[in-house]
């Protein structure tokens, strides 16, 4: 590996002069800097970020921990877009990203020393949950942490968090469905997570604001991204004495899968029964009819998480949970009954 001393010998200057030139110091003449920088490029010099971190105390590597689940992980549209927004911001400021595996999180008391040995300045956690010992160790350490899409409310008070405004998103979606004449609406939720609680609150608030009585049958407990449970939930809903006119699913993957289940029962989405989702994945736009959904601004979530993490690495105090506004994608999958 080419070192600063190698460049200094070639250029006939001191190592400190080379360091200043590579850092583009204004204290050196432009001709000297250009000559040294050109020599470094020709020799194939690569900056040693770890050595720089040890010398300056500035750590320019951030870790990413994924708790989304082995069945989807980064393959899920929402979380891949969050990571894209995060990495774009991080790369633009010349930081590096290190993926932290499940195996690493199970290192017990060796976890934090190990991560510090990697010169991590901070860690992004995707969909973290408090029951994870590794996550609790991270939050309890002096390594800055930001959690995107936290699963439990307790994390909101323990770490910087970034989430979609799930309450407003579901409130607006439900209100729009009601405005189209639907009064018997069922919401198939995800697991008992923070985002689910917020969406249920938004759903119930929209019903109340439109003077529609809530009944227990209007909430069906489901699972995020669990396609095998969709059929059972749809058949349960269709068995109600008073069939709903619209079903809202916890995520677009489940909503899209419900199309085929409903079709197998002789029902046409957008005509015999209405369907809506939550996420805004590309797949929903290619369904027939296109899927009505709440669109999460995943890239902004990722970029916001990156900025928050870098701010914390630079000494900023913990901030309030950042809620990213959602949007509505309204289509013919929800029939106008008026």
Residue 91 lies in a domain: yes
- Note whether 219 and 136 are same-domain residues: no
Residue 51: the pLDDT is 47
- Note whether 274 and 170 are same-domain residues: yes
**Separation between Cα atoms, residue 304 and residue 308, nearest integer Å:** 6
What is the block-wise mean pLDDT of the chain (338 residues), using blocks of 10 residues?
A: 82 82 77 89 70 50 76 66 88 84 80 84 84 84 91 88 96 98 95 92 98 95 82 93 93 93 95 95 90 94 94 89 95 95
Residue 211 lies in a domain: yes
- Note whether 226 and 250 are same-domain residues: yes
- Note whether 156 and 271 are same-domain residues: no
Residue 272: the pLDDT is 96
Q: Number of folded domains in the chain?
A: 3
Place of tokens 């010992």: 133
For the chain, the distance separating the N- and C-terminal CA atoms, rounded to the nearest angstrom, is 73
Residue 333 lies in a domain: no
Q: Which residues have a Cβ under 8 Å from the Cβ of 304 and sit 6 or more positions away? A: 85, 162, 322, 324
H-state helical runs in the chain: 4-11, 15-22, 30-43, 49-56, 77-92, 102-105, 111-117, 133-140, 154-158, 166-179, 194-209, 230-238, 252-264, 282-285, 298-313
- Note whether 244 and 311 are same-domain residues: no
Domain hosting residue 67, numbered range: 61-164+299-323
Q: How far is CA 330 from the centre of its chain?
A: 23
**Separation between Cα atoms, residue 78 and residue 191, nearest integer Å:** 17
Residue 73: the pLDDT is 55
Residue 54 lies in a domain: no
Distances (CA, A) of 108 to 134, 135, 147, 154, 239: 7, 11, 20, 22, 49
For residue 309, give the CATH number of its domain. 3.40.50.2300
pTM: 0.79
């Amino acid at each position: 590996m080419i070192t600063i001393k190698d460049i200094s010998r070639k250029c006939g200057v001191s190592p400190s002069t080379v360091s200043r030139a590579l850092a583009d110091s204004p204290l050196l003449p432009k001709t000297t800097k250009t000559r040294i920088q050109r020599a470094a490029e020709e020799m194939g010099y690569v900056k040693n970020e770890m050595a720089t971190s040890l010398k300056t105390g500035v750590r320019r590597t951030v870790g990413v921990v994924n708790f989304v689940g082995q069945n989807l992980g980064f393959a899920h549209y929402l979380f891949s877009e969050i990571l894209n927004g995060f990495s774009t911001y991080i790369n633009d400021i010349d930081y590096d990203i290190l993926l932290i595996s499940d195996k690493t999180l199970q290192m017990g008391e060796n976890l934090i020393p190990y991560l510090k040995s990697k010169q991590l300045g901070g860690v992004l956690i995707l969909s973290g949950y408090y029951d994870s010992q590794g996550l609790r160790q991270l939050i309890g350490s002096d390594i800055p942490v930001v959690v995107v899409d936290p699963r439990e409310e307790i994390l909101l008070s323990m770490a910087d968090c970034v989430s979609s405004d799930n309450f407003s998103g579901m409130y607006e979606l439900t209100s729009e469905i009601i405005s189209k004449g639907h009064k018997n609406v069922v919401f198939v939720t995800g697991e008992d997570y923070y985002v689910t609680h917020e969406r249920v609150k938004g759903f119930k608030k929209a019903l109340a604001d439109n003077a529609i009585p809530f009944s227990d049958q209007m909430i069906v407990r489901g699972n995020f991204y669990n396609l095998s449970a969709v059929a059972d939930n749809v058949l349960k809903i269709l068995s109600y004495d008073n069939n709903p006119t619209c079903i809202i699913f916890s995520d677009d993957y489940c909503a899209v899968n419900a199309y085929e289940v409903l079709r197998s029962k002789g029902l046409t989405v957008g005509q015999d029964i209405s369907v809506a989702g939550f996420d805004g994945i590309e797949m929903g736009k290619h369904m027939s009819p296109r899927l009505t959904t709440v669109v999460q601004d995943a890239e902004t979530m990722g970029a916001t998480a990156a900025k928050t993490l870098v701010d914390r690495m630079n000494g900023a105090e913990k901030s309030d949970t950042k809620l990213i506004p959602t949007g509505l994608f309204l289509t013919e999958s929800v029939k106008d009954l008026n």
